[in-house]
Chain A
């Protein structure tokens, strides 16, 4: 089986230590995490992790099984790129003089829908949100001008299909409620 990029979405309780518990599952299998983000989800008090890994489908199935087994994980899913809508954000800090003197960059930024976030006498900060290759492309364009700093976020993604988390939690509340 060939390696593919998979997006793992994990809905969890907001508990200390869960990040390392989930990361340990990858570490134990010697699998490198391409990116990881954690944020609140659409459900109150429920966190959502997005982890990107490059593995076989057989591997990702087993990993998701191990993740779901963790006590504070409500549900975990894996998806291919085709099944998700995903974005990354990057920030590029460049010297103001480079930026002001070169019309090519200005044009390029306009073309790529990048955004200027901050302007000072010394530097500009440009933000680009998009697919990995778009973010990387802008990086290549700006690199010759001497990037002062560059940072890229982890991938964030939503799935095309519905995520039945609210249903799962609802079921718990209705079948077990003690009020």
Chain B
């Protein structure tokens, strides 16, 4: 049976070699330029692992300690390298353990191909051992998925899987392969997929839209850019910089857009959203033209939509037509890959400075500095603050490290205080907010960018969700730096309990184990900081370590992250305390 998603490639009579379905899987991965995959073996995927054994000199398989870890590692790898991450698991529980990572990759547009084993096709639907309907389960959280029941389908399906995962707005793809299809043989020939007739990765650019956008920007008195990950995914970082500089537009970022423009760039005015900076949030409701670039107006970015940028003309540069007018009405939608549309825009923009308007952002920053930042970095107060740790890391890294953050207070602090010089440096779980993401993602990030320092910033809660991946670090000797900011609480939930639930700390206090001993059990160098006086040297030692290093910092227990836009409030109702 032919795969029915019609693609450009036609069957040819090229020379083929006879291989098993399992070997075809490996050959397809190699054809796609894959060098590292993350996974966990089991019954229904054993034929593929048997072939991996033969190909271990060509394909590095990283044995994670849980399939969820494999997906997050694949995501971390993809996010720093721009390549497709690959995760492999067996059927049943192996496959269901991938679900969180797949959902995370879907909402954060991360290119990933997951390959799962499935029970033999004659057993499908019989509730066989370790049978689960992973295609059914993963349907709403994949960009595409497919069940292979015949070996002959494998090359074409995997070619499509990689094409779909990486093209257009990227996303996760799952290919489920029955065990008999892995055992059966086929005539192998491989052709990369270059198009699918029912799938249009890039909408056509309408030059008129770009012209309208340019006109609105050229006439704007108070323009503001909010950019998202689309800039990074589209490889449009330098174009963004040129646009920002030419038209003199203050530019703010969503947490997934972070690092596309260097932190110290004078027109980089910080982060938007719930715990973003004061200026860009307040001035969202004062700008006359809001230029959204490769972002999707997440509710954590917009706050109350009824009071979001109502005064502004909204220009939305976006690759995915379904995102336009989804949450915020776009007065001028500009569809297309931002790499293409920003290039066209740049030509049409008139040089400008908007100095007074830019000064407005600086004034707001000064208010935020006095009320929050100064105190966050204050080395005189009682316990160590999370921002102080980030500050020490910045001093050692000079902004060149990849920062992988988990989810919660420390994530917001990491995003607010990290300094970045280059793109693809901030890896975090944004849309799904997956606790447990950072440790495995850091493993993948380090493998995807081996020459860069990779520092995982994790809370004591999230750390324990995937702590078993220390085993992966030990086994692969991947030199990641792990910082656990331990406040003994599920800090973000505790903060909400304090602010909105009258300090009823229901199930947020954690009795934690000795993290240093645990790390040492995995033969990972480990250290603990309890006093401020130790912090600087401890961070320095970690940053200089050639091998994996674990650093626990005991931080202030009941520190709150501010500024904060309470749920249901407008961006301009952002609280400073």
Contacts and interface: CB of A to CB of B under 8 A. Distances in A.
Contacts of A25: 140
Contact of A12 (B10, B143, B198): B198
Contacts of B36: none
A103 interface: no
Nearest to A27: B140
Interface string B346-372: 000000000000000000000000000
A169 B140 CA distance: 26
Contact of A16 (B147, B198, B199, B321): B147
Contacts of B122: none
Given A71-B196, A73-B198, A176-B195, A66 B322 contact: yes
A150 B198 CA distance: 38
B139 A71 contact: no
Contacts of A65: 321-322, 326
A86 B487 CA distance: 63
Contacts of B320: 69
Nearest to A25: B140
A68 B322 contact: yes
B8 A176 contact: yes
A20 interface: yes
A62 B323 CA distance: 9
Contacts of A100: none
A161 interface: no
Contacts of A134: none
B333 to A, nearest CB: 12
Interface string A158-179: 0000000000010011001111
Interface residues of A, number: 30
Contacts of B451: none
Given A71-B144, A71-B164, A71-B196, A15 B5 contact: yes
Given A20-B136, A20-B139, A68-B321, A13 B6 contact: yes
Interface string A38-78: 00000001000000000000000110011011011110000
B26 to A, nearest CB: 25
Contact of A178 (B8, B135, B198, B321): B8
Interface residues of B, number: 27
A13 B140 contact: no
Interface in B1-17: 4-6, 8-10
Interface in A1-45: 12-17, 20-21, 24-25, 27-28, 45
Nearest to B3: A15
B4 A15 contact: yes
Contacts, number: 66
B245 to A, nearest CB: 34
Nearest to B136: A20
Contacts of A14: 4
A62 B326 contact: yes
B498 interface: no
B13 to A, nearest CB: 13
A61 B325 CA distance: 9
Nearest to B145: A17
Contacts of A28: 140
Nearest to A178: B8
Contacts of A172: 195, 197
Contact of B4 (A13, A20, A68, A176): A13
A72 B5 contact: yes
Contacts of B146: 17
A169 B195 CA distance: 13
A75 to B, nearest CB: 8
B164 A17 contact: no
Interface in A87-121: none
Nearest to B149: A16
A41 to B, nearest CB: 13
Contact of B139 (A24, A45, A62, A66): A24
B316 to A, nearest CB: 13
B197 A169 contact: yes
A3 B518 CA distance: 58
A61 B321 CA distance: 11
Contacts of A62: 322, 325-326
A12 B196 CA distance: 12
Most A Cβ at <10 Å: residue of B136, B321, B322: B322
A17 B145 CA distance: 9
B325 to A, nearest CB: 7
A42 B282 CA distance: 54
Interface in B216-237: none
Nearest to A14: B4
A16 B196 CA distance: 16
Contacts of A71: 5, 143-144, 164, 196, 198-199
A61 to B, nearest CB: 7
Contacts of A27: 140
A21 B141 CA distance: 10
Contacts of B140: 21, 24-25, 27-28
Interface of B: 4-6, 8-10, 135-136, 139-140, 143-147, 164, 194-199, 320-322, 325-326
13 contacts: A13-B4, A13-B198, A17-B135, A17-B146, A27-B140, A62-B322, A71-B144, A71-B196, A72-B198, A74-B198, A172-B195, A172-B197, A178-B10
Interface of A: 12-17, 20-21, 24-25, 27-28, 45, 61-62, 65-66, 68-69, 71-74, 169, 172-173, 176-179
Pairs of residues from A and B, 6 with the lowest C-beta to C-beta distance, nearest first:
A65-B322, A24-B140, A172-B197, A74-B198, A71-B144, A71-B199
